[in-house]
């Protein structure tokens, strides 16, 4: 991006929403509005004509919708894209997650047609997303092809997991998880617990989409579930997630304690609880994301003897969380590109369990 204020193209079929978004951007002093577009075709033309650094793109638009426009932009003229969505139905959540798989950096919940506009809240969320967008590694945001359904599903198991894989992800995480999770084998012999920074209402869609393509069953955590081998658990948006003991059996607990590092769920809390309960029989993974969540937790896991994996800078959309983890934890057992992290997890699990 240029040294001057990053430029933003605002795309929405609502003139009112375009005006509100453009005013927030112009008044921020951090960004400038390069132009506006009312639909996907107009957006594509203006991306070519104006060459904006960032695009805010409405999910639902007539003629050419946000997903179609996003697919073209990321394939032909890649740049940082922040999606705008007012959809709260399960189908709408799926569309938003698909947009993140296609390379969008983040999404911002905008008011629905029958909702009042909360200017302060919208401003805070939008500017936060634009700041993240201004730092992304565009070479790591290539379009992810629609994943195929898993060829082989894991056999149902009911035994408690001897080993746990704890994963932290934020900006760029849904796309990274869409590549990583389907690559895990059906007989991993461990439970996988994922903290993805995401608001309430969207992690259910994330879990459902991952479940369609994974060899292991994937579900959003409701609270109280026993931690079983060969299952993947996704932290619920807006709730913290930790490992606890129910009747002596490790289980998953959700909580409404205040956000940590400004996020809830917080990976540090999960990692710390995994370190206490599983010790060396655990694998910690820190993927792409802004901030430092997961850094202290990975250090605690390493101190407890767990195997540690960090995504490398070249493949991370945002290297903030991986960098912080490497600094705080004093390194990692494995620093790998996203394409090799599944095999690194398998290797890590194998070193934590006794030979069969």
More confident residue, 91 or 273: 273
Which element (helix H / strand E) includes 166? Answer: strand 164-169
Q: Within a domain: residue 156?
A: no
Count of domains forming the chain = 2
- pLDDT of 1 strictly over 70: no
Cα separation, 16 vs 304, whole angstroms = 54
Note whether 209 and 117 are same-domain residues: no
Q: Within a domain: residue 153?
A: no
Q: How many percent of the chain have pLDDT more than 90?
A: 75
Q: What is the pLDDT of residues 115-154, one digit of tens each?
A: 556 667 788 999 999 999 999 998 887 655 555 555 577 6
Note whether 23 and 57 are same-domain residues: yes
Note whether 68 and 180 are same-domain residues: no
- pLDDT of 355 strictly over 60: no
Q: How many percent of the chain have pLDDT more than 70?
A: 91
Quick check: helix, strand or coil at residue 148?
coil
Largest alpha-carbon pair distance within the chain?
63
Residue 78's pLDDT is: 93
Residue 152's pLDDT is: 72
Question: With left for phi above 0 and alpha for psi between -120 and 50, is residue 127 left, alpha or beta?
Answer: alpha
Q: Within a domain: residue 237?
A: yes
Please tell me which residue in 293, 315, 334, 336 is annotated as part of the active site.
293
Mean pLDDT over 242-248 rounds to: 83
Decide if 170 is catalytic.
yes
- For 292, phi and psi rounded to 5 degrees? -130, 10
Note whether 230 and 178 are same-domain residues: yes
Residue 116, judged by CB atoms within 10 A of its CB (0-12, 13-18, 19+), counts as exposed
Assign residue 68 the CATH number of its domain.
3.40.50.2300
Note whether 62 and 106 are same-domain residues: yes
Quick check: helix, strand or coil at residue 348?
helix
DSSP structure string for 264-307: SS-HHHHHHHHHHHHTTSEEEEE-S-SS-TTHHHHHHHHHTT-E
Note whether 184 and 120 are same-domain residues: no
Note whether 185 and 298 are same-domain residues: yes
Note whether 46 and 82 are same-domain residues: yes
Among 121, 138, 155, give the residue marking a domain's end: 138
Given pLDDT bands bounded at 50, 70 and 90, which one contains residue 356? very low
Q: What is the pLDDT of residues 66-110, one digit of tens each?
A: 999 999 999 999 999 999 987 666 666 888 899 998 899 999 987
Mean pLDDT over 162-177 rounds to: 96
Strand partners, 254: 241
- pLDDT of 352 strictly over 90: no
Please tell me which residue in 197, 205, 273, 308 is annotated as part of the active site.
197
User: By the 8 A CB rule, do 105 and 133 touch?
Assistant: yes
Please tell me which residue in 170, 205, 308, 315 is annotated as part of the active site.
170
Q: Within a domain: residue 159?
A: no
Assign residue 335 the CATH number of its domain.
3.40.50.180
pTM of the shown model: 0.91
Note whether 106 and 196 are same-domain residues: no
Note whether 174 and 129 are same-domain residues: no
Please tell me the least confidently modeled range out of 142-151, 161-170, 234-243, 326-335: 142-151
Cα separation, 267 vs 169, whole angstroms = 8
Q: Within a domain: residue 225?
A: yes
Q: Within a domain: residue 319?
A: yes
Please tell me the least confidently modeled range out of 15-24, 37-46, 141-150, 182-191: 141-150
Domain span holding position 64: 7-138
- Distances in Å between the Cα of 136 and the Cα atoms of 140, 171, 201, 284, 353 are 8, 9, 25, 24, 37
Mean pLDDT over 299-303 rounds to: 97
Note whether 214 and 126 are same-domain residues: no
Cα separation, 94 vs 352, whole angstroms = 35
Residue 111's pLDDT is: 67
């Amino acid at each position: 991006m240029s040294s001057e204020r990053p430029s933003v193209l605002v795309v929405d079929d609502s003139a009112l929403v375009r005006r509100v978004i453009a005013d927030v951007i112009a008044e921020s002093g951090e960004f400038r509005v390069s132009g506006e577009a009312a639909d996907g075709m107009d957006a594509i033309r203006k991306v070519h004509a104006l060459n904006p650094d960032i695009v805010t793109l409405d999910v639902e638009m007539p003629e050419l919708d946000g997903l179609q426009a996003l697919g073209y932009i990321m394939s032909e003229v890649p740049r940082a894209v922040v999606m705008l969505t007012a959809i709260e139905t399960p189908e709408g959540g799926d569309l938003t997650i698909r947009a993140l798989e296609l390379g969008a950096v983040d999404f911002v919940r905008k008011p629905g047609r029958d909702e009042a506009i909360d200017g302060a809240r919208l401003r805070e969320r939008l500017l936060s997303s634009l700041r993240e967008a201004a730092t992304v590694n565009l070479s790591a945001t290539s379009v992810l092809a629609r994943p195929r359904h898993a060829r082989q599903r894991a056999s149902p198991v009911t035994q408690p997991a001897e080993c746990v894989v704890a994963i932290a992800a934020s900006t760029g995480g849904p796309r990274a998880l869409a590549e990583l999770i389907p690559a895990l084998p059906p007989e991993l012999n461990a439970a996988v617990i994922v903290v993805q920074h995401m608001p309430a209402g969207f992690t259910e869609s994330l879990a459902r989409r991952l479940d369609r393509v994974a060899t292991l069953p994937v579900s959003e955590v409701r609270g109280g579930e026993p931690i079983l081998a060969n299952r993947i658990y996704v932290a619920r948006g807006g709730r913290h997630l930790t490992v606890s003991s129910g009747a002596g059996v490790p289980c998953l607990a959700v909580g409404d304690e205040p956000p940590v590092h400004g996020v809830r769920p917080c990976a540090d809390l999960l990692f710390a609880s995994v370190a206490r309960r599983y010790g060396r029989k655990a694998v910690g993974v820190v993927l792409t994301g802004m901030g430092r969540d997961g850094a202290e937790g990975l250090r605690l896991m390493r101190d407890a003897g767990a195997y540690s994996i960090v995504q490398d800078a070249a493949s991370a959309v945002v290297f903030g969380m991986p960098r912080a983890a490497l600094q705080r934890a004093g390194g990692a057992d494995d620093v790998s590109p996203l394409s090799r992290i599944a095999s690194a997890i398998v290797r890590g699990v194998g070193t934590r369990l006794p030979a069969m």
